[in-house]
Amino acid sequence: MATQATDLSGGLPETREYVVAERPEDGIRDAVNVWLEEENGLFAMRVGVEAVGAQWDRHELWLDIAFADGRLYSRRGDGETQSAYGADGRPTVRATGPIRFDCVEPFRRWTVTFEGPVAITSAQEILENPDFEEKEWAAISFDIDMRMAAIPWEPGSILPEAAEALGGKQGDYMSPRYEQLFRASGTLTVDGETQAFNANGLRIRRTGFRAFAGFWGHCWQSAVFPSGRAFGFNSYPPREGEPPSYSEGWIIEDGVRTGARPVGIPWLRKLVTGGEDVSCVLETVDGRRVEIGGLTFANTRSRGGHVLPPDWPKDWPIVQQSHAFYTWDGERTTGMIERSSKPSVMEL
């Protein structure tokens, strides 16, 4: 079903943008996460804050800044939790230690700032050793203004079979969330050298319980083009003898969002540091076939999650976060892709 975007909320209430201000029960997570790709593919970043009920006084923070030449600046840890309330008294701030997200205007504008030391590494090093020893640090700061470019997507809201899949156990892996594409401008400073940039990105707001036991992999891609066209999808691999796996996508053309089913999916089968074909194909619910070319310019294996509890299966999915050039009918942009697969189906 196609829907006309009359505003950038997509029908979601403004309160969905507000963060959880006071400590919730221990199993609840409230997160603000951002993927960002410099418009020419020079660098990309992932940055986020996870506010976890059980450790409410020190929210988790993560940051990865990956350059196309293989350099990577990466930080994990926590920081002293800052107030969730903005100057107008609304809970519009998610901040901890050196990082701060601000909701300036719900569903329209967010900002994020950071200033602090970040470990120096490379995409190749963490591919080989996600537990690398942090020995060198860079002084990094950034100030980014994010302006939303499309209505939000709430997984399970577009295709009926997707809603059914997320209504069961598969919904635990994602937790209640929505994501929204944006365009951005800002400055990035690394060891005293500052560069201004323009970028594309994806913002995710996620609040609720989240469980990972039983997860077996996924492929998640999204991007917005200069003309305003956009696409996105998330799929879990099919499993023989099991209920249908969650799989759902959409496109936006001329301000109209149309549901789509992913039919050509670049599942994760190897670990490389860039230059990987991640082209995809979507079939819209009104019968169109959309082919989108994709080529990564920065691939980074996820830090964290590789040290498993003793009772978890050894064949646990490896996660890779990447940033890609996408091409749709000759129009080019930069966007995100995250994938995970069990080692048993990969070429390692």
What is the three-state SS of 311-329?
CCCCCCCEEEEEEEEEEEC
Residue 285, domain member (yes or no): yes
CA 347 centroid distance within chain: 25
Q: Is residue 87 part of a domain?
A: yes
**Inside any domain, residue 19:** no
Report the distance separating Cα 28 and Cα 228, nearest Å. 35
- Whether 108 maps to a domain, the answer reads yes
**Number of compact structural domains in the chain:** 1
C-alpha span between 179 and 335 (Å, rounded): 13
Give dist(CA 281, CA 124) in Å, integer. Answer: 29
Per-residue tokens: 251:
């496109």
Q: Does residue 11 belong to any structural domain of this protein? A: no
Spatial neighbors of 241 by CB under 8 A, at least 6 apart, are: none
Q: What CA–CA distance (Å, rounded) separates 166 from 176?
A: 10
Alpha carbons within 13 A on the beta-carbon side of 236: 22
Q: Is 6 within the bounds of a domain?
A: no
Write the burial class of residue 35 (CB in 10 Å: 0-12 exposed, 13-18 middle, 19+ buried): buried
Instruction: Evaluate whether residue 1 is within a structural domain.
Output: no
- Both tokens of 179, joined, read 């994501």
Distance CA 264, CA 237 (A): 12
Residue at 9 is within a domain: no
3-state DSSP assignment of residue 55: helix
List the chain pLDDT tens, one digit each, 348 residues: 444 446 899 999 999 999 999 999 888 899 999 999 999 999 999 999 999 999 999 999 999 999 999 999 999 999 999 999 999 999 999 999 999 999 999 999 999 999 999 999 999 999 998 888 899 999 999 999 999 999 999 999 999 999 999 988 898 888 889 999 999 999 999 999 999 999 999 999 999 887 777 889 999 999 999 999 999 999 999 999 999 999 999 999 998 999 999 999 999 999 999 999 999 999 999 999 999 999 999 999 998 654 566 676 788 899 999 999 999 999 999 999 999 999 999 998
Domain extent, residue 116, equals 27-208+215-345
